[in-house]
């Protein structure tokens, strides 16, 4: 099943973005700690003398599954091996119960990749936490490239007549909540798998990742990933002032800010799921307002051949776009317009 890294800023390229805790040190490059003068940014788990470094972030898991937290670790040059400089990794559930834990004590300045197996018992919110161990003398272990791969297709919950449902579990005939037309039957659903090779060859195929709360009002409710052209419904005083509209649609790529909204690294396969209703509608995905599939030359081109053939068999006129929906559910902002709202 396709997977995606759910750790935000595990490379520390954006400093401490995505991480909370105490005594975080993420502002220096690898070359400041170990030989080689690499400009790659890393995190040290012993930032300040006499302070305990705790570095953590919250993740959302869509369902029970077994995976692993992976990362690279080394001992900085100023630390002597065998002196107990290291750290503990804990993964905790929402009640604070530890479901996986392991201590690590790197022994050299050479990078070693580690993996902490973890079995998530159910869907929910969990915490990944790194805690400093050792002399607490500001000369400790360093970490980088923290990653956890989980199923992407189970990551988006769509509001339906039966409550939120994983998008990949939807079937034709299911009633989907819409903002303008109440419950609407699902007419067609299709999947498009994009390999790592495709994403590396064309960055436009990489998903856009929204951190929880990145759209305001605590939305989305969980980490959300969509295709770059997928449009998000937004509305506030700026949409009224600049466009005379209470709500507008903005492509996800136009909302990227390098922090809470970012483009994925493209190092894991990804599956895009599209579903069609009787008209273009505003639906709720992970609590946020987004669009249903809107047939157009661009969006149809994003489907694989089997999905297009299935869609055209159900809706023959779409093959030539003669029967494309007459209008989008909201005005669509583009480029410079979107920057006034984003």
Whether residue 336 is predicted with pLDDT greater than 90 in this model: the reply is: no
The pLDDT value recorded for residue 261 is 93
H/E run at residue 132: strand 124-133
Is 256 within 8 Å of 262 (Cβ atoms)?
yes
Whether residue 340 is predicted with pLDDT greater than 80 in this model: the reply is: yes
Its pTM stands at 0.54
For the ranges 17-21, 129-133, 334-338, the lowest mean pLDDT is seen at 334-338
Contacts of 47 (CB under 8 A, 6+ apart): 23, 24, 25, 53, 138
Segment 290-316, tens digit of pLDDT: 999 887 655 665 555 665 665 566 556
Is 249 within 8 Å of 333 (Cβ atoms)?
yes
Contacts of 157 (CB under 8 A, 6+ apart): 62, 164, 165, 166, 167, 222, 285, 286
Whether residue 319 is predicted with pLDDT greater than 90 in this model: the reply is: no
Contacts of 265 (CB under 8 A, 6+ apart): 5, 11, 206
Better-scored residue on pLDDT, 140 or 297: 140
Is 271 within 8 Å of 194 (Cβ atoms)?
yes
Go through the domains of the chain in sequence order and give each one's CATH number: 3-151 (2.60.120.260), 153-339 (2.170.16.10)
Whether residue 196 is predicted with pLDDT greater than 70 in this model: the reply is: yes
The pLDDT value recorded for residue 155 is 62
* 240 band by pLDDT with thresholds 50, 70 and 90: very high
The secondary structure of 249-299 as a DSSP string is: EEEGGGG--SSSEEE--S-S-EEEEEEE-SS--EEEETTEEEE-----HHH
The separation between the first and the last C-alpha atoms of the chain, rounded to the nearest angstrom, is: 33
Q: How high is the mean pLDDT of the chain? A: 83
Is 154 within 8 Å of 225 (Cβ atoms)?
no
Contacts of 250 (CB under 8 A, 6+ apart): 231, 232, 234, 332, 333, 338, 341, 342
Pairing relationship of beta strands 288-291 and 54-61 according to DSSP bridges: unpaired
Q: What percent of the chain is modeled with pLDDT above 90?
A: 34
CA–CA distance, 98 with 101 (Å, rounded to integer): 7
Which strands sit side by side in the sheet containing 224-226, from one edge to the other?
224-226, 208-210, 261-263
Is 68 within 8 Å of 115 (Cβ atoms)?
yes
Whether residue 1 is predicted with pLDDT greater than 60 in this model: the reply is: no
Mean pLDDT for 153-165 is 82
Residue 9's nearest CA partner among 24, 19, 22 is 19
Residue 249's nearest CA partner among 332, 327, 179, 336 is 332
Segment 42-100, tens digit of pLDDT: 999 886 777 899 999 998 776 666 677 888 899 987 666 667 789 999 999 999 999 99
């Amino acid at each position: 099943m396709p997977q995606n890294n759910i750790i935000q800023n595990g490379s520390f390229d954006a400093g401490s973005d995505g991480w909370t805790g105490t005594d975080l040190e993420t502002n220096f490059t690898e070359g400041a700690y170990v030989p080689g003068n690499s400009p790659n940014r890393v995190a040290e788990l012993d930032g300040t003398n006499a302070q305990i470094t705790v570095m953590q972030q919250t993740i959302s898991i869509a369902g029970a599954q077994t995976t692993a937290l992976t990362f690279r670790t080394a001992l900085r040059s100023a630390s002597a091996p065998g002196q107990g400089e290291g750290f503990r990794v804990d993964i905790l559930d929402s009640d604070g119960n530890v479901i996986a834990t392991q201590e690590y004590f790197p022994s050299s300045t050479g990078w070693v990749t580690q993996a902490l197996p973890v079995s998530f018992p159910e869907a929910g919110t969990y915490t990944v936490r790194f805690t400093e161990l050792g002399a607490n003398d500001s000369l400790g272990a360093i970490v980088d490239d923290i990653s956890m791969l989980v199923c992407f297709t189970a990551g988006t919950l769509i509001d339906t007549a039966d409550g939120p449902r994983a998008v990949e579990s939807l079937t034709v005939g299911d009633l989907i909540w819409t903002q303008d037309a109440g419950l609407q039957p699902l007419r067609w659903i299709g999947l498009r798998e994009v390999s790592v090779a495709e994403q590396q060859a064309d960055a436009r195929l990489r998903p856009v990742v929204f951190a929880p709360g990145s759209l305001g009002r605590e939305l989305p409710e969980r980490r959300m990933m969509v295709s770059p052209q997928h449009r998000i419904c937004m509305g506030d005083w700026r949409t009224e002032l600049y466009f005379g509209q209470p709500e507008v649609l903005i492509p996800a790529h136009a909302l990227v800010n390098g922090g809470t909204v970012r483009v994925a690294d493209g190092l894991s396969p990804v599956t895009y799921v599209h579903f069609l209703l009787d008209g273009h509608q505003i639906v709720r995905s992970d609590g946020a307002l987004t669009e249903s599939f809107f047939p157009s030359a661009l969006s149809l081109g994003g489907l694989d051949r089997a999905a297009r053939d299935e869609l055209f068999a159900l809706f023959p006129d779409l093959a030539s776009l003669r029967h494309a929906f007459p209008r989008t559910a909201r005005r669509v902002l583009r480029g410079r317009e979107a920057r006034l709202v984003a």
